[in-house]
Structures are given as structure tokens and as C-alpha cells.
Amino acid sequence: MHPGPGGPATISGVRSRAFRHEALFYSEEQEFLAGTVPFLRAGLEAGEPALVVVSREKAARMKAELNGESDSVSFVDMEELGRNPGCIIPAWRDFVAEQGGEGRPVRGIGEPIWPELSADELVECQRHEWLLNMAFMDAPAWTLLCPYDAGALDPAVLEGAHMTHPYVTERGICKESHGYRDPQVAGDPFEEPLTDPPPEVEELAFTLGSLATVRAVVSRQAASAGADEREIEDFVLAANELATNSVLHAGTSGTLLAWRNGDTLLCEVRDEGTLDDPLVGRQRPEPSQPSGRGLWLTNQLCDLVQIRSRAGGTAVRIHMGFGPKS
């Protein structure tokens, strides 16, 4: 073990890895700052570019602590970037590619999980944390520190952090995680079934010839909920991409379900195909790539995308909030 985050990437019992993924448990603001600010200063002293993705409030406190040193650190609002956790890995990929060239190490701080998340948002953020280890398995050396508010989060969420991070720092001491689930040898620990749709859900069986009906159903659902024109267009486009994927790549038909939950529109597309890549939709397609853009586009348009794929078929559920934005 060693004191504090950001130290050498070797701990007894954990093999050395180019990508170092570490959770930081804190219980109050000063503990958060004590774990993150020295981590950034160490990077600045080593000449390592840094990207911080946290809430605006925490970013302001960190900048104040850095006292002018923050000019060399990039900050992004996690509540904006991470509104859909499926968009976070591409942002980290861009940062590593742009700043980590020629073997230069980089470091980041990202806090995708906070107490106000819904149950659906939470499990997808936990899946995101686990998938990071797969996404950067062969990446150049870099370090990502993920703060967790141990004073406000449920203990089960902290246990989940042990599954997704090879290292965990608590009270200033970094240790090997007791429950880490290495994606090279273990399955996704957060692939729990989707919750059941409500009884009043609208359901439609579709084929290639009825995609116009799919669009009409989704548009009507969005309009009746009071979504504005842009929200309707985005939701219809996302649903159409999912349905088109089903008939082109997973057989000749699929099933659409559409409903509303408060100020959120939901749509689910089911088919008999399977998806083999857990990172599907989280990797930007190459310009020359002839296909595979549908789930990427869906992640850009929606607030949350949930994918469950098993031997019996695949379900993709999209969520989009509508109405006045705070």
C-alpha cells in the first residue's frame, strides 16, 4: 500500500498496468480537496496534462485551492458531459489521444456518481466505471482518479466502486481493491435486467416496411407529453436508428415500446439479435466506417441509453427528459 492517490502503479497482488484507475472515498469537502488537489499538483510538477470532470461547484473549490496553478488544468462540468454516461468514455479517449502523445503520461479526475442520480442512472454510471477498464486496457499510460462521496452514497455504491477500480484510497491510504472485477476475466457485474415498463405502454411490432409507423408512434408520444419541436425530432431520430438497426442487423423485425414517466420520455426496441461488444455506442465511428453509427448517434441524442444483450435477444432503452431545463 502507499499513502494517497496517484502514486506508483504497482501494489502487491495487483499487476502493473498502463491505465491506473483509482477510487477516492471522501466524506467532506476538505477530504475531497485533500485527495484531489495534491494529485493535480503532482501532475503539474511532472509536466503531465490534466483534465478534471466534476460539478461546477467542486471545480470552483479546486481552482481556489490551486491558487492560479489551475491554468494548466482543463475543467469540464460532469453534470453536462455525464448527463448520459455513455458519452464520458469518448471524452476521455479524446483527452488521452490529444494530450498523451509520444508516451507522455496524463492524468484525470472524474466523478460520474453522485447521490441525486436515479436508480437507472446509477447502474449505468457504475457500468461506465467498469467499462473504463476495458476501454483503456491497451491505452498509453495515464491515471484516472474517481472521487466517491462516502458520507452521502449508499454503502452498496461504495462496494460497487471496489468492483470497478483496481485501487481504492480511503483516509489517505491507497489499497488494492478487495472486489475488483477485471473485465478480462469477469463478466459485467451491473448487467441487471431492465425494469418492467408500465401497463399503459404503447407497443408495436415492426419490420423494415413499417419504420414510418415507428416514427409516427414515437412522435405522437413525445408531442402528447409536451416536448418541443427539437426534443421530438431528436427522440424520433434516436428511436428510428434503433429500429433500423434491428431490421438490418438483427433479423427482419423487432418490437417497439414507448411510454412516459413524469417528465421523461422512454422508448425501448427489442429484437432477437445479440451485441458482442460491451463498448458499442461508446466509441466514435471512424469516418470510413460503413456502419455502426446508430448507437453512437443515439448516445449523442439521449439522456440515457441502456443496453441489455443476452443469448435470447437484445433490448435497448432510451430516456429523454423534456420541458424546461434547469
In a domain, 187, yes or no: no
Taking a C-beta distance cutoff of 8 angstroms, is the pair 197, 211 a contact?
no
Average pLDDT over residues 262-284: 93
The confidence band for 10, taking pLDDT boundaries of 50, 70 and 90, is very low
Q: Does 6 share its domain with 145? A: yes
Q: Does 239 share its domain with 164? A: no
Quick: pLDDT tens for 161-173.
Answer: 999 999 999 999 9
Taking a C-beta distance cutoff of 8 angstroms, is the pair 158, 146 a contact?
no
Q: Does 155 share its domain with 270? A: no
Q: Does 260 share its domain with 168? A: no
Q: Give this prediction's pTM.
A: 0.91
Domain span at 292:
202-321
The residue from 159, 176, 193 where one domain ends is: 176
In a domain, 252, yes or no: yes
Structural domain count of the chain: 2
Q: Does 143 share its domain with 46? A: yes
Q: Does 238 share its domain with 107? A: no
Quick: pLDDT tens for 14-41.
Answer: 444 589 999 999 999 999 999 999 999 9
Residue 291 has pLDDT above 80, yes or no: no
- Tell me the torsion sign for CA atoms 151, 148, 296, 323: positive
Q: Does 159 share its domain with 229? A: no
Residue for cell digits 415492426? 206
In a domain, 156, yes or no: yes
Residue 3 has pLDDT above 50, yes or no: no
More confident residue, 251 or 296: 296
DSSP string, 63-103: HHHHTTGGGGEEEEEHHHHTTSGGGHHHHHHHHHHHHSGGG
- Terminal-residue alpha carbon distance, the chain: 43
Q: Point out which residues pair with 174 in neighbouring strands.
A: 2, 169
Taking a C-beta distance cutoff of 8 angstroms, is the pair 217, 202 a contact?
yes
Q: Does 6 share its domain with 105? A: yes
Q: Does 269 share its domain with 127? A: no
In a domain, 195, yes or no: no
Q: Does 259 share its domain with 145? A: no
In a domain, 190, yes or no: no
In a domain, 123, yes or no: yes
In 92-226 the beta strands, taken as DSSP E runs, fall at 106-110, 142-149, 167-170, 173-176, 202-207
In a domain, 192, yes or no: no
- For residue 193, the 8-state DSSP code is P
Dihedrals phi, psi of 132, to nearest 5 degrees: -55, -40
